[in-house]
Amino acid sequence: MCYDINTHCIHTERLIINLKMADVDIAWTTTESGFKMPTVALGTLMENIKALIKKPTVALGTLMENIEPDNAQVAQLVRDAIDLGYRHFDTAQIYRSEPGVGKGIRDKIESGDVKREDIFVTTKLWRNAHGTDDVVPSLRSSLQELGLDYVDLFLIHWPTAFQSGPNQFPKDEVGKFQYASIDYLDTWKGMESCVDLGLTKYIGLSNYNSKQIQRILDTCRIKPVNLQIEVHPYLSNSKLVAFCKSHDITVMAYSPLGGFKWRNGETEGPSIFNDSTIQAIARKYEKSPAQIALRFQLQRGVAVCPKSSKKHRIAENINVFDFTLGPEDMNRLLACDRNYRLNAEFPDHPFYPFHENF
């Protein structure tokens, strides 16, 4: 299968894996450079949604500081997801879900259901470890939390660095976040060292704009293979997606189903589940709005990273390979774009990525 995005082609391979529960058909994205990645990942940001609803004005940093996921629940979710056919698991240092993700994966390896090479693990570098010499120790810490020898993909979570140190959200005496002016080019050197040491197979970026990516491409020794960004029917990010494909960089969509909004004190943005266009297309294909939104991205050549803590939802989210949206419906979904961004943190940071058009 080949998806043409502004003359750039992403090829997908299909892999049949025999499970105790079922035969599952999985698609992997393969770039021209040989990088391979499963196109559907399980997101593992297990935030306390009820706390957010009760306190809609709480800033993201304050919320994230108080997240303590139930890693036993995360481990069970990962085990269930592997049984359902998931082979890609997305976590991050700031999610605090690495122990559960690693435990679930190790359990399934020990039971003989999968091998380590069957599983693709992504984690991310947090803002307080952007110094060149801080990157390797940070990944080593993640590997210890995961209980794994390596990850498949290591991303810089944001280009916007905080003051280096053990505090993930450093603040001054008046409660203002303490930014650092560390250039992400210096951070990238540390990322390259992680590859050299065998701690990760590949490295990439998250929440970067095209100019920031180009700066890295112009100077790097090892190029990024993936960009993880917010993409959903209300934010198509078409120009940035096309830019990445033209440079043989895969794109992974986080929040592909929309989600909570961190800015302006809003609890939630407009819901794609109530969108009349998406609902109509879902009825036409006898699928859920979520499945339509995910399939839409896959046919654009964009991998997806939906998250849920419910087994029936994660089963629904991976059941998107048995139908194809027609060109007219793809165009209708593209027309849903409102340039509506859910995540827009720290806009006064010198390396804030979203002042640029793409």
Catalytic residue (one of 86, 95, 179, 352): 95
Q: Are 270 and 218 in contact (CB under 8 A)?
A: no
Q: If we measure between CA atoms, which residue out of 96, 190, 202 comes closest to residue 146?
A: 96
Reduce the secondary structure of 21-67 to three states and give it as a string.
Answer: CCEEEEEEEECCCCCEEECEEEECCCCCHHHHHHCCCCCHHHHHHCC
Output the six-digit token pair for 232: 């959903």
Taking the CA atoms of the chain, what radius of gyration do you get in angstroms?
19
Assign residue 139 a region: left if phi > 0, alpha if psi is -120 to 50, beta otherwise?
Answer: alpha
The number of beta carbons lying within 10 Å of the beta carbon of residue 31 is: 19
Across the beta sheet with 88-90, the strand order is: 41-43, 88-90, 120-125, 151-156, 200-206, 226-230, 250-254, 303-305
Q: Please tell me whether 157 is known to bind a ligand.
A: yes
For 211, the enclosing helix (H) or strand (E) is helix 210-219
Q: If we measure between CA atoms, which residue out of 253, 260, 339 comes closest to residue 296?
A: 253
Q: Are 314 and 81 in contact (CB under 8 A)?
A: yes
Catalytic, 95? Answer yes
Distance from C-alpha of 118 to C-alpha of 110, rounded to nearest angstrom: 13
Binding residues for substrate: 157
- The catalytic site residues sit at 95
Binding residues: 157
